[in-house]
Structure 1
Amino acid sequence: MSRFKDRVAVVTGAGSGIGEQTAKKLALDGAAVVLVGRTKEKLDRVAADILEGGEAEVFVFQADVKEESQVAGLASFVKETFGDLHILVNNAGTSGNAAIMDLDADEWDRIQETNVKSVFLVSKALGKIMMEGPEGARAIVNVASLSGHKAGAQIPHYSSSKAAVIHFTRSLALEFAEKGIRVNSVSPGFAETPMTSEGLKNKRFEEAVKRNTALGRVGQPEEIASVICFAASEEASYMTGSDLLVDGGWLIR
């Protein structure tokens, strides 16, 4: 099956975790994929893994997507290399823990810039390429979080940033609908990624996560990536402005 044959896709935060698995699935399903991230060594490793898995077109672009000038460089690369863009996955993000009284402005800004500002900058710059392209299936998928739905103690900066991504997605969906560009978000629950690996080393913490998840286990990045690819595909052709919660049943527990 080649759901994404002749499609060009950009995935931010593609060097590990959910971004890595999403990029792999898109590439192995026929898309030409641009891997975007801050660490070239990680991107090169992912690219090598994709190329080892079969025929695929994969490109590496090193950038910090919370920096407007670097996002402009990414947009120029996509325009010059492909002339068009069909799929954008805004996955780059970071986390942090701090009680509100211990949270300083610099840490607040770090989370907001990485998790929200980057989505705005990339969506604006690459969305312009999408809007200027010929008619056809186009989709943006923003990676939010269960924490955007359910607030948590000691993560006020993270929770608020992911709630912002969900609402930004809805606003963007309204603006881009007339151009035929669908915009949705995916909200993962607790998945086993480099961002969560430190916490999972604590067995009591891991058991607490499982206990609070209806399915009784930690999610895998591949499971989140599958839903992202669904939202990017024509199987979701009548869906825009939606948030897909992939949390193993945490919210209903």
Structure 2
Amino acid sequence: MANPLDFSGKTVLIVGGTSGIGNGIAHGFREQGAEVHVTGTRASANDYSPEDGSVLEGLTFHSLDVADRAALDAFAWPERLDVVVLCQGIARYNRDEFNREGWDAVMAVNLDSLLDCSNAVRPKLAESGGSLIIISSIGGYRGLIGNPAYGASKAAAISMVRSLSLAFAAEGIRVNGIAPGYVHTKINDAFLGNEKFRDATIANTPRGRLGLPQDMAGAALFLASPLADYVVGQTISVDGGLSVGN
């Protein structure tokens, strides 16, 4: 029996794949034989450092600011796409998301660009009978006292998975999502750096640890593989069980 997780000959694009969860997912597909492309907002791959959680060896880098619609319109997407993972995301702190400028900035990346990117890759995924995976957050299921835009955008992303799965299914495109829990990445340092918060989070997580980017890679590989051929419109929480009791 052929290995259903062998992605040799497949082309995968991770939008927001230069660091953190996106980078972990990118290397998960690379290790399974895929040709992997990643996008990031900096000018070149040389502007990223492994110390920041950015390991770009073996990946093809493209500079793209997904909040810039003109840049999206001009972007040269890979000629073939079998799997697209939308992992772009930002958050603002110090109550900045309560201000309209902060709200708009978060929404432009975390929500608006999801639709723009989905529409852009739709024809190529239809050609390949491919898979679209949207990364949201368990924050989309709960209130976030300091991040109303982040929470709202992730809740909308979860809803978008359901809507796009219905809209794209007739073209042979499967749309699903992943809602990560608390994952040890640079973007989460703002609150996981707080020892009291970190310890409480781990104590409330049945798995007994924080998540890692490679934990999200496992879920992405499954959703993009033939093993998930009958899985459509679902967002899988990958959070070590944190949401089960909260």
Which residue identity lines up with residue 55 of structure 2 in the other structure? V
Query: Do structure 1's residue 46 and structure 2's residue 55 form an aligned pair?
Result: yes
Does the CA-based 8 Å contact 2:38-2:61 persist in structure 1? yes
1:35-184 correspondence to structure 2 within 5 Å: 35-39=38-42, 40=44, 41-42=47-48, 46-48=55-57, 50=58, 58-74=59-75, 76-78=76-78, 82=79, 84-97=80-93, 103-131=98-126, 133=127, 136-184=128-176
Deviations 1:145-186 (A, max 9, x none): 001111221221111000000111111100110111000010
CA distance in 2, matches of 1:198, 1:167: 27
Q: Give the CA deviation at 1:198.
A: 3.5
Q: Secondary structure at the match of 2:55?
A: helix
Task: Tell me which residue corresponds to 1:245.
Answer: 237
Q: Give the CA deviation at 1:129.
A: 2.2
Query: Do structure 1's residue 195 and structure 2's residue 162 form an aligned pair?
Result: no
Distance 1:142 1:109, change over 3 A: same
- Of 219, 225, 246, the residue aligned with 1:227 is 219
CA distance in 2, matches of 1:17, 1:239: 26
CA distance in 2, matches of 1:60, 1:152: 33
Q: Give the CA deviation at 1:98.
A: 5.2
- Percent of residue pairs identical: 28
Q: Give the CA deviation at 1:215.
A: 1.9
Q: Give the CA deviation at 1:26.
A: 0.9
Uncovered stretches (5+) of structure 2, i.e. residues with no partner: none
CA distance in 1, matches of 2:49, 2:68: 18
CA distance in 2, matches of 1:175, 1:220: 32
Q: Secondary structure at the match of 2:62?
A: strand
Q: Secondary structure at the match of 2:17?
A: coil
Q: Give the CA deviation at 1:70.
A: 1.7
CA distance in 1, matches of 2:18, 2:173: 26
Which residue identity lines up with residue 203 of structure 2 in the other structure? R
Q: Give the CA deviation at 1:21.
A: 0.8
CA distance in 1, matches of 2:190, 2:16: 19
TM-score by length of 1: 0.87
Does the CA-based 8 Å contact 1:36-1:43 persist in structure 2? no
Does the CA-based 8 Å contact 1:140-1:182 persist in structure 2? yes
CA distance in 1, matches of 2:55, 2:212: 17
Deviations 1:45-69 (A, max 9, x none): 6332x3xxxxxxx321100012222
TM-score by length of 2: 0.89
Q: Give the CA deviation at 1:77.
A: 3.7
Task: Tell me which residue corresponds to 1:55.
Answer: none
CA-atom RMSD in angstroms: 1.9
Uncovered stretches (5+) of structure 1, i.e. residues with no partner: 51-57
CA distance in 1, matches of 2:49, 2:166: 33
